[in-house]
Copies of this chain bind each other. A is one copy, B any other.
């Protein structure tokens, strides 16, 4: 498996609007997986959560994650990424969730913000990339 996203699959990261199914590891070693919004900075898949949530706790404790990203126009074309969270930061996380909101639902500001939550960015470096289709 390559460790970079092939040019021919970068449309799934930057062009089309699709979810990533992000798997993280629980304290007991079992997996959990949920659909998430994401962006791509050319090197990292960037996701956004809030401090204290399950995914936040998992990614802070165990950096190994995996992503499955389907082409919304062809379910038999997808990217499978195994990677590592290499940076966790609150810097820019509010702007980032607003940018994701724009990308995914066309609104300027994240509508489900809770007044007490602290948004967090996680930068995932792909280590193994497999493509299908």
List residues of chain A with CB under 8 Å of any chain B CB: 19, 21-26, 28-35, 62, 64-68, 70, 75, 78, 80, 82
Contact = CB atoms under 8 A, between A and B. Distances in A.
Given A30-B82, A32-B80, A32-B82, A23 B66 contact: yes
Contacts of A82: 26, 30-32
A22 B34 CA distance: 10
Given A19-B75, A21-B21, A68 B30 contact: no
B64 A33 contact: no
B70 A35 contact: yes
A30 to B, nearest CB: 4
A30 B23 CA distance: 9
